[in-house]
Amino acid sequence: MKFNETVIKRLRQAETIVFFTGAGISQESGIPTFRDGAKSLWKDFDPDIYASVNGFDNDPSKVWQWYAERRQQVRVLEPNRAHFIIADWQHKAPHVTVITQNIDGFHQRAGSQNVIELHGSIARNQCRKNGHRFPHDFDHPTQQPPNCPECNSLLRPDVVWFGENLPEEAYSQAEMKSFNCDVLVSIGCSMEVFPAASLPYNAARCGAYLIQINTQATDLDTVAECNFQGKASEVLSALWCAVWNSDVEA
């Protein structure tokens, strides 16, 4: 894979880098994406049922059990090379932030320190009534959603469903980062879900160098300076070698 000198220099000189990630980065770990390909989740499962408050209220056990399967996947699967390369980038640039739409916790497991989770985490639950939050007990899965120890309402996964607001603090931190980075690398995001998808556009408007890695075209193609079509782990491995092991003058 060939990269032009500008990409290599911009990445090598960047003081502040944001990696903005979506389901595509975990696809190579074996976690299904939501909207691309025959095995994507929203092809087989209705998001109105499995990713909405109404869906949960109509049949809490059904939704809870669906998430139990996803929790089991996250537990047995591992972060892949793409997650590890992003974690290694912390040793190369002074300020590296990961802003992710993923709920699998793989960036943290790979060693990334500054991770902003825009869509929550499958490793936590929150109660339906008051939003009390608790770590999920992976060792003792239940068929039914348990009750909140504080207010007795039902616990649900602490993830953002359609129609819900993003966690306020996470989103405002992510916005700040998008306004103030030298380079933003968007990886495995379909760019269809807002407001998360507005972050790369913010970065571009504020003068950041925008790089996109995706197996397919997205709406961001026309805005990004560089579009690398390919799998996250393959493109990032090649990019790492080009930036840190090549003799292009920076």
As annotated, the active-site residues are 119
d(CA 163, CA 142): 27
- 157 part of the interface to ligand APR, by CB under 6 A: no
- 237 part of the interface to ligand APR, by CB under 6 A: no
The distance of closest approach from Cβ of residue 88 to ligand APR in the complex, given in angstroms and rounded to an integer, is 18
Pattern 5-34, ligand APR, x by CB under 6 A: -----------------xxx--xx----xx
- 193 part of the interface to ligand APR, by CB under 6 A: yes
The distance of closest approach from Cβ of residue 128 to ligand APR in the complex, given in angstroms and rounded to an integer, is 19
In the region spanning residues 45 to 84, those forming contacts with ligand APR, defined by CB under 6 A, are 51
The distance of closest approach from Cβ of residue 219 to ligand APR in the complex, given in angstroms and rounded to an integer, is 10
- 142 part of the interface to ligand APR, by CB under 6 A: no
Measured CA to CA in angstroms, residue 169 lies from 75, 117, 162, 166, 223 at distances of 27, 10, 19, 9, 27
- 126 part of the interface to ligand APR, by CB under 6 A: no
Residue with tokens 């300076």: 225
Question: Of 61-69, 123-131, 140-148, 183-191, which part binds ligand APR (CB under 6 A)?
Answer: 183-191
Enumerate binding residues for ligand APR (CB under 6 A). 22-24, 27-28, 33-36, 40, 51, 101, 119, 188-190, 192-193, 213-216, 218, 231-232
